[in-house]
Structure 1
Amino acid sequence: MSAWLVCLAAALACGCTSTPSRQIAAVDVLMQRYQGKVPGASLLVIEDGKAVVSRGYGLAELESGRPAAPDTNYRLASVTKQFTAASILLLVQDGKLSLDDPIHRWLPSLPPTDDGITIRHLLTHTGGLIDYEDIMSPDTQVPLRDADVLKLLEGERRTYFPPGTSYRYSNGGYSLLSLVVEKASGMSFQAFLKQRIFLPLGMTNTLAYVQGGPPVPNRAFGYSLIDGHWTRTDQSMTSAVLGDGGIYSSIDDMAKWDAAFYENRLLSEESRRLAFHPWTKTDDPSIEYGFGWRITGETEWHSGETIGFRNVIVRYPKRHFTVVLLTNRNDPEPYRTALDIADVFLGEGKR
């Protein structure tokens, strides 16, 4: 284990930091909305390999009163996409596939209208695929899996634009990427994530979850504020689609994920360069997109939003500084809070 990871593991294990009390107080003010008998959050702040903040706020489960903690597992939603992208990059490193492989090579049942779409296009949301959420039946009663997304797209004979000519955020593209991982590796997506990412990094409580599969340890349940009351809204008909948002993890494990990007322990230097390269502009002129990561100024980040959960990871790699904020509620959106927390440590206006 590298010195970086040893230091981080020790800080997480003992919960000790040398963070000034004024900074902790400022963070607690920013996290006030998550405190008390309400759906909560787990917050991690890493500076130079040390967890300067690692704590839970509020409740992971309202019904039992179980508090949120550093080992609480939240559904990551679209933060999952960086793990899907990393899986593809690992297979590129293995020589099993190429970023410029046509998607038809791996998923030949897709219609001719998808000719020209490559793995690279799916990674960068430039494939032009129709959103599967818009074409699934409104009467769907059984949660979709990634294979069901493929079936929906097999019957679609249109795209939003020719591949590579524009950007449109695509959950379906990342769902298809999980199926490519399965085809190229000969393993289920869940097994690939576990064997190639989670276990090598020591993320022992992280998993891609589906009903009927292994249970989520220390699980947070999702809630939405409806008519002034917090109501459990933990799963939807798209919650079992894994490639675009099905991973559960904790800030304890996300600390290990963050640390992996400072060395060659998981991805090679070239793969990390590819992941964080600003390949395309997005629908926000201040944001570009890599492979599962948004790039804004000096930050590399991604948010995740699904029924009952809102999360974000924001990395400042040149400063060796990261904020991870995982929440089990539909509001507020945590990205701005994470930036404000970063300001407490880095200084206002230095993002």
Structure 2
Amino acid sequence: MKQHTTVQERIDALMRQYDGPVPSASVLVLRDGEAIVRRSYGLADLGSGTAADPTTNYRLASVSKQFTATSILLLAQDGRLRLDDPVRRWLPTLPDAADAVTVRHLLTHTSGLIDYEDVMDPDSQVQVHDADVLRLLETQYRTYFVPGSDYRYSNSGYALLALIVERASGQRYARFLHERIFQPLGMTATVAYEAGVSEVARRAYGYSFEQGRWQRTDQSSTSAVLGDGGIYSSIDDLARWDAALYDERLLRSQMLQEAFTPATATDDPDVQYGYGWRITGETLWHSGETIGFRNVIVRYPRQHLTVVVLTNRNDPEPYALARQIAGLAMAK
């Protein structure tokens, strides 16, 4: 227990900038399935002064992509789709330029599809949804490169994957996530948030430091797209998610191994990409960045160690911090 306390004290020192009346951070360190660190710092809501705690739900941003990928893999496991299906089998309104794009290309960011953010109306304040991403891409008669020939990180691809989940399952994407992943794992407060449809319990609101003070910047015009980043969750629920990545409660071991196997190089020579996971050596990880939130999950499967850092602020990006925390946990 004393060793755990020492690790906690060192992590507290690292987290000093998140403590007090400022936007928060929640930190989880799991070793052998046990939470050796489970602590929150700062405020989930500056307006009400609500403190963050381990049940606070943050917008995961691109950490959501591992859930989108798992949804696709569940349907492949069910025999409802194949990873080498042409995307136009499921989304036939895409233009001919997408003929060669497969579901696997979407998972691995090798589709070459145009980024929907680049073809949105820059002056519009209306939030786009996954179906709007499809409508935007229906007007794009080119790709950045021949599908499968290169890597370019693609939020478009993951929005389309959410739509494919809907077509293949016959369920709304948020409902599929709830019934096939969140509910079975006991992730009771995790939700793919849809304004007017669902609520986020114990919600953290996003902030950015602007003009010398923290200002709420919780939503942007792309925040309603679910497949690429619309899930809210807490460190407590992500502990349940992490546990399921070591067994076959959701995916068979062969499918999990495929998700965790490098499928493509990326624009960082140290990083490869699987299905919803970045891979650096033996480390599986993914960051998530959106207006007012910066998050990361870093897994060391061989050491049975996982670090999660969730924050409701625009800066800094916490990947390096999570690696530092992991180093402290390994050295104890």
Q: Given the two structures, how large is their TM-score scaled by the length of structure 1?
A: 0.93
Task: List structure 1 segments (4+ residues) > 4 angstroms apart after TM superposition.
Answer: none
Partner of 2:255: 271
C-alpha distance in 1, partners of 2:2/2:105? 44
Partner of 1:317: 301
1:185 equivalenced with 2:169 (yes/no): yes
Within the candidate set 124, 129, 145, 1:145 is matched to 129
Once the two structures are superposed, residues 39-70 of structure 1 have per-residue CA deviations (whole angstroms, 9 ceiling, x without a partner) of: 01111000011000111100000011100100
C-alpha distance in 2, partners of 1:162/1:20? 51
What SS class does the counterpart of residue 23 from structure 1 fall into?
Answer: helix
Partner of 1:248: 232
* 1:157 partner letter: Y
Q: CA deviation at 1:214?
A: 1.4
Partner of 1:120: 104
Within the candidate set 206, 231, 238, 2:215 is matched to 231
* 2:259 partner letter: A
Partner of 1:207: 191
Mapping 1:90-109, distance limit 5 Å: 90-109=74-93
Mapping 1:15-26, distance limit 5 Å: 19-26=3-10
Q: CA deviation at 1:23?
A: 1.4
What SS class does the counterpart of residue 226 from structure 2 fall into?
Answer: coil
* 1:343 partner letter: G
C-alpha distance in 1, partners of 2:246/2:2? 23
What SS class does the counterpart of residue 238 from structure 2 fall into?
Answer: helix
Two-structure CA RMSD over aligned residues (Å) = 1.0
C-alpha distance in 2, partners of 1:317/1:306? 27
Within the candidate set 152, 157, 165, 2:141 is matched to 157
Within the candidate set 301, 315, 322, 2:285 is matched to 301
Once the two structures are superposed, residues 299-318 of structure 1 have per-residue CA deviations (whole angstroms, 9 ceiling, x without a partner) of: 10000000000000000000
Once the two structures are superposed, residues 283-326 of structure 1 have per-residue CA deviations (whole angstroms, 9 ceiling, x without a partner) of: 00000000000000121000000000000000000000000000
What SS class does the counterpart of residue 313 from structure 2 fall into?
Answer: coil
Once the two structures are superposed, residues 176-214 of structure 1 have per-residue CA deviations (whole angstroms, 9 ceiling, x without a partner) of: 000000000000000000000000000000000021121
Q: CA deviation at 1:19?
A: 4.3
* 2:218 partner letter: D
Q: CA deviation at 1:227?
A: 1.4
C-alpha distance in 2, partners of 1:30/1:336? 11
Partner of 2:23: 39
Partner of 2:158: 174
What SS class does the counterpart of residue 157 from structure 2 fall into?
Answer: helix
C-alpha distance in 2, partners of 1:322/1:29? 20
Partner of 1:330: 314
* 2:286 partner letter: H
C-alpha distance in 2, partners of 1:341/1:72? 20
- 1:287, 1:294 within 8 Å by CA — same for their partners in 2? yes
C-alpha distance in 2, partners of 1:259/1:307? 29
* 1:281 partner letter: A
C-alpha distance in 2, partners of 1:344/1:282? 28
- 1:47, 1:320 within 8 Å by CA — same for their partners in 2? yes
Partner of 1:6: none
Q: Given the two structures, how large is their TM-score scaled by the length of structure 2?
A: 0.99
* 2:26 partner letter: S
- 2:4, 2:37 within 8 Å by CA — same for their partners in 1? no
Q: CA deviation at 1:24?
A: 1.3
Deviates more, 1:17-26 or 1:152-161: 17-26
What SS class does the counterpart of residue 147 from structure 2 fall into?
Answer: coil
Partner of 2:65: 81
What SS class does the counterpart of residue 169 from structure 1 fall into?
Answer: coil
Q: CA deviation at 1:141?
A: 2.3
Deviates more, 1:21-30 or 1:158-167: 21-30
C-alpha distance in 1, partners of 2:250/2:18? 34
C-alpha distance in 1, partners of 2:328/2:181? 32
Partner of 2:331: 347
Q: CA deviation at 1:18?
A: 5.8
- 1:18, 1:52 within 8 Å by CA — same for their partners in 2? no
Unmatched 5+ residue regions in structure 1? 1-16
